[in-house]
């Protein structure tokens, strides 16, 4: 699977799981937030199937494996699904980087039919949530820095803001 000189060494994966990839607020670059990040060391000649078994034991649930290219960012993750994919990413790290392989582990996406996810008949409670043409029941708030300047406190009689009306909250805030 890989060249002979590295056949007896270990392969290290820097595994992140249980979190999410989100843009950083300052510069918009993607970062992994939350969850866990741990190092998994395996034999360099491990097969894809053996690696997936180890990763499932490692995380406690079945995972989908995506790896970051050695000089890449989190915007371009490579899905690893076969022995060939694994050999290619190992070769890239051996050739360019030689360090730990950055791996993002996520629960596998499951495709389910509408019938398996619940009854969508008009009398079902799920029907109103899934199939209703009504507008969403939430409001997007303005940026935080403008909230204080746009809302003012009023005593006595008041008109609740959009957020308060939708969520039936009692508030003394109104939109100016």
Instruction: Dump pLDDT digits (tens) for 134-170.
Output: 444 444 554 554 444 444 444 444 455 555 555 555 5
Predicted confidence at residue 82, as pLDDT, reads: 96
pLDDT of residue 149: 45
- Cβ pair 42, 54 in contact under 8 A: yes
pTM for the whole thing? 0.57
For 147, residues 6+ apart whose C-beta sits below 8 A from its C-beta are 141
Phi, psi of 93 (to 5 degrees): -70, -40
Q: Determine phi and psi for 89, rounding to 5 degrees.
A: -70, -35
Out of 3.40.30.10, 3.10.20.90, 3.30.565.10, 2.160.10.10, select the CATH number for domain 4-106.
3.10.20.90
- Encode pLDDT of 53-78 as tens digits: 999 998 899 999 999 998 888 888 99
Task: Tell me the domain boundaries of the chain.
Answer: 4-106, 138-175
């Amino acid at each position: 699977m890989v060249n002979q000189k590295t056949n007896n060494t270990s392969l290290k994966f820097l595994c992140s799981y249980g979190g999410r990839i989100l843009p950083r607020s300052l510069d918009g670059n993607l970062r992994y937030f939350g969850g866990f990040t741990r190092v998994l060391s395996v034999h360099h000649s491990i097969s894809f199937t053996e690696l997936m078994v180890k990763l499932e034991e490692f995380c406690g649930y079945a995972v989908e494996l995506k790896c970051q290219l050695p000089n890449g960012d989190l915007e371009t993750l490579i899905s690893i699904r076969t022995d060939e994919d694994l050999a290619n990413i190992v070769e890239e790290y051996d050739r360019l980087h030689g360090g730990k392989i950055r791996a993002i582990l996520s629960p596998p996406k499951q495709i389910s039919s509408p019938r398996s996810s619940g009854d969508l008949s008009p009398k079902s409670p799920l029907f109103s949530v899934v199939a209703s043409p009504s507008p969403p029941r939430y409001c997007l708030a303005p940026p935080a820095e403008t909230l204080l300047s746009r809302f003012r406190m009023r005593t006595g009689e008041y008109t609740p803001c959009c957020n308060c009306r939708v969520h039936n909250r009692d508030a003394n805030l109104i939109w100016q």
